[in-house]
Chain A
Amino acid sequence: GAGVSQSPSNKVTEKGKDVELRCDPISGHTALYWYRQSLGQGLEFLIYFQGNSAPDKSGLPSDRFSAERTGGSVSTLTIQRTQQEDSAVYLCASSLVYQDYNEQFFGPGTRLTVL
């Protein structure tokens, strides 16, 4: 595709439910990143992938959060037993490779609301 796409664009769920957020990176980009942006806050790094492996998961806030990437392309961020504090916009980005100067291209985000 022309850019990074994410789905769904909006997700409303009840506390305790599991949710899956999807990211389709730019074709050919080997690096993929997940961020969380709470209302009025800066971006918070969650995890990045180089290919299908995740060398840095240090930003995942708890073991309820997990992510995978298959075929070096699509990635899924899963939040189990959602809590109200999980409400935020989840942004995905991709870059050609994971190097200092490579620009990250962001998707439009998924707005998650936990009731």
Chain B
Amino acid sequence: KNQVEQSPQSLIILEGKNCTLQCNYTVSPFSNLRWYKQDTGRGPVSLTIMTFSENTKSNGRYTATLDADTKQSSLHITASQLSDSASYICVVRRTNAGKSTFGDGTTLTVKP
């Protein structure tokens, strides 16, 4: 069982709609959690980083939340655009420069 579980596996929404992607993790001890966006044929790009004490962080139309008690994070995308079509990957890192653990990603398709 992966220590970082993402849901849903894939999602299709209409342009302009909002959506929320979920990430549950069991990685411990926790250092930080990043959300990456990976466009088709490209490498992942970091959207936001969440540390233990942070609950919410926004980056434009992207808002990430973190509940370190329940070990859950979400990525909310507002007013989706066609360019938001991509894979969104949740990555959790252990403390003391431990290895990063990657989720399998959620594939988002935004349709006109």
Interface size class of B (residues with CB under 8 A): 20 to 34
Contacts of A105 in B (CB 8 A): 43
Contacts of B100 in A (CB 8 A): 45, 104
User: Are A93's CB and B43's CB within 8 A?
Assistant: yes
In the complex, A42 Cα to B9 Cα: how many Å? 11
Complex interface: stretch among A13-21, A60-68, A73-81, A95-103: A95-103
User: Are A108's CB and B32's CB within 8 A?
Assistant: no
In the complex, A5 Cα to B91 Cα: how many Å? 22
Q: Chain B interface secondary structure, helix, strand, loop or mixed?
A: loop
Contacts of A98 in B (CB 8 A): 97
Q: Is B79 in contact with chain A by the CB < 8 A criterion?
A: no
Q: A42-B89, A98-B97, A100-B32 are in contact. Are A106 and B102 (CB under 8 A)?
A: no
User: Are B41's CB and A108's CB within 8 A?
Assistant: yes
User: Are B97's CB and A100's CB within 8 A?
Assistant: yes
Q: Which of B31, B44, B98 has the most CB of A within 10 A?
A: B44
Contacts of B105 in A (CB 8 A): 42
Contacts of B45 in A (CB 8 A): 106
Contacts of B43 in A (CB 8 A): 4, 91, 93, 105-109
Cβ proximity bits A33-50 to B, threshold 8 Å, 1 near / 0 not: 001000001111100000
User: Are A101's CB and B99's CB within 8 A?
Assistant: no
Cβ proximity bits B87-104 to A, threshold 8 Å, 1 near / 0 not: 001000101111110111
Q: A residues near B, CB below 8 A?
A: 4, 35, 41-45, 56, 91, 93, 98-101, 103-109
26 A-B residue pairs with CB within 8 Å = A35-B102, A42-B89, A42-B103, A42-B105, A43-B44, A43-B89, A43-B102, A44-B102, A45-B100, A45-B102, A91-B44, A93-B43, A100-B32, A100-B95, A100-B96, A100-B98, A101-B32, A101-B49, A103-B34, A103-B46, A106-B43, A106-B44, A108-B42, A108-B43, A109-B41, A109-B42
